[in-house]
């Protein structure tokens, strides 16, 4: 029998892989990963994710080799390369897990015009197109969407990892991973990424560790000093572990912590639900009136944006979050909201500028989740609170006990006591090496509400 191509994208795992299982049932399998920077255009993966991808592909290649198979690597236009591989192998069958990012959807449609592309569900708890209301329409709002999803749970049991994978009669040429230059050099800014272990083994290690903590998740998840979150986001984005495997792992826990965590898994998928309905959601306001919002532009706005990126705003919790992002490729979720709200509402800078920075710096940068969360904070999303809801960093910081978190990432403030570290300027304790606030909270709120008022008045 002719072999089947297995087209890998954000599904870099062996276990619970329906497309791999289907391809194996038909004979020899040629797994191929294509680094396609052409079709995503401006949304090609950022620097941090390229670091993760390198290590994830190394781990995946080892998993295939252990099972008598291999991972074929190619770079370029995914559709053209898959057609070329199919021709060389004498096959027309391609198995793949369905993806919902617009460039993946376009590639799937184009590929299906000439080849037998078989798409499988496997990267979501449920196919977002099947989550419909009583009128047969798709949901935009999270709460009714999640209520419907819960009625469709539990998801199917995960598929086990195969012991062996049948090889094709011959292997097509594979490019050396090192030639892709995914790892940073001169300088190597990834030294702070050492705590991460990309790959399927790393994902399962994270999950096993977190299952022991899930009972207290609801109470502890907003406290960055505790490291009480799962830190599975990058593993889920790259598909090193499936959402249904994560769901099943916490199925034996029935308390509020597990329920809260399951809703967070679904929240991530709601982002894909929105991107699938609105393919330009990562760059276009979900609410049309925001197209007229008076965002700040020019030299002063650019200066403030640079200060925000570098963690030099004069607001300790914001600066801690932005430095954590740069150093580790990740940021605690509560702090993400605070930092994003500060850029959009304190500095009145377009949410899309922050979204792009996160896209390049986050190891877990996901088109749907990133766009949804930024539009949620900005108030411009289809499922977002009003713009006037403005987070106060100087309130959030002590409320969620962030003193230890600030000490870790803003060392120039580490000597300050808990009472002063959240707002050292108020206590006259600001060291000379730390900046004054870009703007006071009171002045920022007045400016933001004036901008909001002008939009509503117009």
What's residue 458's pLDDT?
A: 55
What's residue 167's pLDDT?
A: 96
What's residue 141's pLDDT?
A: 97
- What residues have CB less than 8 Å from 189, skipping those under 6 apart? 326
Query: What structural domains does the chain harbor?
Result: 4-123 (3.40.50.620), 124-155+201-277 (1.25.40.80), 288-457 (1.10.579.10)
How far apart CA 107 and CA 98 sit, in angstroms, is 11
CA proximity to 71, closest of 158, 1, 11: 11
The alpha carbon torsion through 183, 187, 192, 195 (nearest 10 deg) reads 30
How far apart CA 109 and CA 127 sit, in angstroms, is 17
pTM of the model: 0.97
What's residue 455's pLDDT?
A: 86
Query: What are the C-alpha distances in Å from 428 to residues 133, 401, 408, 420, 422?
Result: 56, 21, 21, 9, 12
How far apart CA 6 and CA 281 sit, in angstroms, is 29
Residues of the chain scoring pLDDT < 50: none
Are the CB atoms for 16 and 200 separated by under 8 Å? Answer: no
């Amino acid at each position: 029998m002719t072999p089947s191509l297995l087209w890998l994208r954000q599904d870099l795992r062996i276990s619970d892989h329906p497309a791999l299982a289907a391809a194996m049932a038909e004979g020899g399998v040629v797994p191929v990963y294509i680094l396609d920077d052409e079709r995503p255009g401006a949304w090609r993966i950022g620097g941090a994710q390229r670091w993760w991808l390198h290590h994830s592909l190394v781990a995946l290649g080892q998993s295939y080799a252990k099972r008598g198979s291999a991972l074929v690597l190619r770079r370029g236009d995914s559709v053209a390369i898959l057609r070329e591989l199919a021709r060389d192998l004498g096959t027309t069958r391609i198995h793949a897990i369905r993806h919902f990012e617009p460039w993946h959807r376009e590639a799937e449609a184009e590929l299906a015009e000439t080849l037998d592309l078989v798409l499988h569900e496997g990267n979501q708890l449920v196919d977002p197109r099947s989550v419909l209301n009583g009128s047969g329409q798709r949901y935009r709002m999270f709460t009714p969407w999640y209520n419907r999803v819960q009625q469709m749970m539990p998801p199917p049991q995960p598929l086990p990892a195969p012991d062996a994978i049948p090889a094709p009669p011959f292997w097509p040429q594979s490019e050396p991973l090192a030639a892709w230059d995914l790892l940073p050099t001169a300088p190597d800014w990834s030294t702070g990424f050492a705590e991460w272990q990309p790959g399927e083994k790393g994902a399962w290690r994270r999950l096993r560790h977190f299952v022991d903590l899930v009972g207290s998740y609801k109470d502890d998840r907003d406290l960055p000093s505790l490291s009480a979150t799962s830190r599975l986001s990058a593993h889920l984005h790259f598909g090193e572990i499936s959402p249904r495997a994560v769901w099943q792992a916490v199925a034996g826990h029935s308390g509020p912590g597990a329920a809260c965590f399951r809703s967070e898994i679904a929240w991530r998928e709601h982002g894909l639900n929105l991107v699938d309905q609105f393919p330009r959601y990562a760059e276009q306001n979900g609410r049309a009136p925001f197209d007229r919002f008076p965002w700040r532009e020019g030299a002063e706005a650019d200066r403030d944006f640079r200060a925000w990126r570098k963690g030099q705003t004069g607001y300790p919790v914001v600066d801690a979050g932005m430095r954590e992002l740069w150093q580790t490729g990740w940021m605690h979720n509560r702090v993400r909201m605070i930092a994003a709200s500060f850029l959009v509402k304190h500095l009145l800078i377009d949410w899309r500028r922050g979204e792009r920075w996160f896209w390049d710096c986050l190891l877990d940068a996901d088109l749907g989740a990133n766009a949804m969360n930024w539009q949620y904070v900005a108030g411009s999303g289809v499922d977002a609170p009003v713009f006037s809801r403005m987070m106060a960093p100087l309130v959030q910081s002590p409320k969620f006990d962030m003193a230890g978190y600030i000490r870790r990432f803003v060392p120039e403030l580490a000597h300050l006591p808990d009472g002063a570290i959240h707002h050292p300027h108020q206590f006259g304790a600001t060291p000379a090496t730390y900046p004054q606030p870009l703007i006071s909270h009171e002045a920022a709120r007045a400016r933001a509400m004036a901008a909001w008022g002008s939009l509503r008045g117009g």
